[in-house]
Amino acid sequence: MGIRDWPEGERPREKLLSLGAAALSDAELLAIFLRVGVKGRSAVDLARDLLSGFGGLRQLLEADRTRFCAEHGLGEAKFVQLQAVLELSRRHLASQIERGGALTSPALVRVFLASHLRHLGHEEFAALFLDTQHHVIRFESMFRGTLDSASVYPREVARRALELGAGAVIFAHNHPSGVAEPSGADRRITERLKDALSLFDIRVLDHFVVGDGDVVSFAERGWL
């Protein structure tokens, strides 16, 4: 039986229009993206198969081109569409962060930083530069590689903060291992950054460590 033969209230598109996107399961949302199934399998059936085969929604969304396109029912056209959707989502989050109002939502900052860093296969250190009223000036990726005293340079961070006229900064980096718990090196470099920026009256508001599921805040731990 095809989806068109289902009761109207159970069809993903009609369900979304009636109840909103949040009411749909991962498989139902993915089925809307897929639009069609394959021979003998509806779009919802195919979506369930893909989620099971990839190990979950995140693994599917973050699969590389070769892995994604190898699956029956997908291919390059779907891969291109997905990358465009993901980038639109990141830009939407960025517009919410950067539309000029004071930064008042820690939850939104968490989602924004996770969307930029969680999927990376390497460690990356980034900074969200703010003015003295905590309006966003710019988000920038600054260093790539293992986070230690040899790869993150407080002088470079201070120089960039001064160039942008920042009065405060929020740091973030990811752990490709998936474990968000900050290391001793994470804490040491944060202290060095805080000390360096304090010389110019620039406050370090937080440092987020992005893992697979969690995003750990230094401020919430009382470390800043």
Sheet holding 124-130, edge to edge: 136-144, 124-130, 168-174, 203-210, 215-217
Domain extent listing, the chain: 3-74, 91-221
Which neighbouring-strand residues pair with 77? none
pLDDT of residue 149: 41
- Within 8 A by CB and 6+ apart from 194, the residues are 204, 224
Task: Extract the tokens encoding 10.
Answer: 């159970």
pLDDT of residue 177: 83
Q: Tell me the pLDDT tens digit for each residue of 54-99.
A: 998 878 888 889 999 999 889 999 999 999 988 888 787 777 666 5
Handedness of CA 51, 56, 62, 63 (dihedral sign): negative
pLDDT of residue 58: 79
pLDDT of residue 99: 56
pLDDT band at 109 (very low <50, low <70, confident <90, very high): confident
What is the average pLDDT across 35-62?
Answer: 88
Pairing assessment for the beta strands 215-217 and 203-210 based on DSSP bridges: antiparallel
pLDDT of residue 98: 64
- Assign 169 to helix, strand or coil: strand
- In CATH, what is the architecture of 91-221? 3-Layer(aba) Sandwich (3.40)
pLDDT band at 7 (very low <50, low <70, confident <90, very high): low
Distance CA 43, CA 61 (A): 17
For residue 55, what is the DSSP state?
T
Q: Does residue 159 register a pLDDT over 90?
A: yes
